Amino acid sequence: MSVLPFQPSDQIGDHLVFATTDHQVMTIDESVVTTPDGTFIADWISQSLNREDAAHEYTIRLLKLWYTAQDDTTISVSVSGDGGETWNETRVVEILATTGSRTRAVNIPFGTTGFDLRFRIRFDTDVLVNVWKYRPRLIKRGPVEYARGTVSSPL
């Protein structure tokens, strides 16, 4: 982790703000670390997955996560097509323990469409899970252009 020179104005309050080694700013909402009955949860929300082309709708078909874990556990992964206003298609994913610096990968299928795709990882237990990287498979939606005009896509 690196030290931030400032705290982003939209992250003031009960959010833990930190930067990764690849210079991405991440947050964890500290108010959701435990539930009223004492069980542990924590959420991590991605940036917009289609931010380079937010003028078009995209569908997320698959999300691949690379991780390490100190013990077998589960995480819940949800997707949003509206920037995190609503969360759809929650998948409970089995995470297997790893040893040393060896990572494992898991593929999670989805089918959510929207203009601002994001995913949320909910850590349901207090088992240490490090997600090292992710790769979404996105499909651009909308009309398909041919040499003789525009035809609506059947997708």
Number of domains in the chain: 2
Cβ count near 73 (within 10 Å) = 18
The answer to whether the pTM exceeds 0.85 is no
Please give the Cα distance from 118 to 147 (Å, whole number). 34
Q: What does the alpha-carbon distance between residue 73 and residue 25 come to, in Å, rounded to a whole number?
A: 26
Residue 22 belongs to what domain range? 1-32
Task: Give the integer Cα–Cα distance in Å for 135 and 155.
Answer: 22
Per-residue pLDDT tens over the stretch 33-55: 555 565 666 788 898 998 777 67
71/80 Cα distance (integer angstroms): 28
Same domain, yes or no: 98 and 62: yes
Per-residue pLDDT, 43: 83
Encoded amino acid at 15, one letter = H
Identify whether residues 41 and 27 lie together within a single domain.
Answer: no
CB of 48 closer than 8 Å to CB of 116: yes
